[in-house]
Amino acid sequence: MTSYRTIRASGFSLVIAPKRLALLLALTLLLFLVALWSISSGTKHIPLGEIFTALFTPDAQSSADANVVVDFRLSRLTLALVSGAMLGVAGAIMQSLTRNGLADPSLLGVREGAALSVLVCLFLVPSLPTALRPVAGVIGGLTSAVIVFALSGVTSRLRFVLTGIGFSWFLSALLLILMASLDIRSLQSAMIWMAGNLQGASWDAVSVLAVILVAALVLIWVTARAADAQALGDSAAAALGINLRFLSSLHFSLAVILTASCVSYTGSIGFVGLIGPHIGRFLMPGGSFLGITVGAGLTGALLVSTADTIARTAFSPLELPTGLVLSAVGAPTLLLLLWLHRHRL
């Protein structure tokens, strides 16, 4: 049984669960250690002392090692952390909204729809500003998600997930047709990007995604209590005065926006939104919507940053796509979850 403690100060009170808070802090510490490992690892190993010197000593930021740390490794690590958190949070929102442990925006056509839309824009309008990529991705992802909802007619059964997977295959076929019409150089770039790759990380991309993530987290925090009430059932939530249509529409939009925006810069990184929420619920059983969402975000950041570091260093100087490493973990996890949910088929 979870124990709670109340902290009161100057008319303000906060109820916390010490055990869950300790788990979140431990997860944050693990994330920090992975970040140090990621920055120091690569074709050239950079000691931790030189890393801290490059980060916190302005006079040293013009050196070669400082440029490698700040301009390449740190920007790529930050993009991995932000994109992983976005995918984890999106998965937690979608699973809470549909009450389906197999629901994941990347399994519902959102990823493929966003990728198709972004690729079309990039090749038709090569000068498309970086800040407008998420707009194209959100349009494609939102359109795909709406079509899946319309075709399935239900969100809480496995039919919803299977409809999303089928529609994802259809969009994947359209992507292949599009790429077949490209020249060899454009085709190579598209295939590397589609596999989920963080090689093109930049601070511009990090800034755009960070703003979207922070805005989404604020909205999640504001609506967290309403989401907890919704988890009790639609009738109970309506009796408590919760506007279910508005809440569901908001959370659905947030999940699509987070996933599509992430895909716009990193390509098709899958399974994070599926695995992250389950790990979050495992670490914090019976936790609130906000706690599970934060846990899923931290787990997603940990998964993507670890996978990207492995992809970058395992066969150095060659690099694997980050999405490939995650798929090697995510595919068996999906099969395990399907087995656990076999009685709902």
Secondary structure of 16-75 in the HEC alphabet? ECHHHHHHHHHHHHHHHHHHHHHHHCCCCCCCHHHHHHHHHCHHHCCCHHHHHHHHHHHH
Of the pLDDT bands very low, low, confident and very high (cuts 50, 70, 90), residue 218 is very high
| Mean pLDDT within 275-281 | 82
Mean of the per-residue pLDDT values for the chain?
Answer: 81
pLDDT at 217 over 80: yes
Percent of the chain with pLDDT over 70: 87
Predicted confidence at residue 275, as pLDDT, reads 84
Lowest mean pLDDT among 32-36, 95-99, 126-130, 177-181: 126-130
Predicted confidence at residue 240, as pLDDT, reads 80
Q: With contact defined as beta carbons under 8 Å apart, do 277 and 95 qualify?
A: yes
Q: What is the pLDDT of residues 224-275, one digit of tens each?
A: 888 888 888 778 888 888 888 888 889 988 998 999 899 888 888 878 888 8
| Mean pLDDT within 70-92 | 89
pLDDT at 133 over 90: no
| Mean pLDDT within 139-147 | 88
